[in-house]
Amino acid sequence: MAIDTFTWCARTEASEQLNVSTIQAQFGDGYKQIAGKGINEASESWSLACNGRLAAMASVRAFLKSHVTTSFWWTNPWGEKKLYRVKSDSINPKFVNGDFAEISFTFEQAFAP
């Protein structure tokens, strides 16, 4: 099965949150031991938004809704092509005026299709 690609232009205010999962042990002499937790210890999420005419935003909304449980390819602002899923409670359409809408959403990094 082919993996879809998110091809719409996201606005320039993209914001990344990077989470590195670690385990730590603090010792009485001040020494602290830190190690990565798991094989995919670093994961990222992106807060994004798209805007445009209702017809174009309807297709973005449909893509977002269908990729909450299914991963897709997206090239982030760093130029890295990775797998992501849409965070389930993050799709927020706003109707700016009659034929113009904005949709904000969050991508969470996925490690499998």
Domain ranges in the chain?
Answer: 49-113
Task: Kindly state the average pLDDT of the residues 85-98.
Answer: 94
The pLDDT value recorded for residue 10 is 82
Q: Is the pLDDT of residue 28 over 80?
A: yes
Task: Kindly state the average pLDDT of the residues 75-103.
Answer: 95
The pLDDT value recorded for residue 35 is 85
Q: Is the pLDDT of residue 61 over 90?
A: yes
CA 21 centroid distance within chain: 17
- Asked whether the CA dihedral 74, 76, 79, 83 is positive or negative, the reply is negative
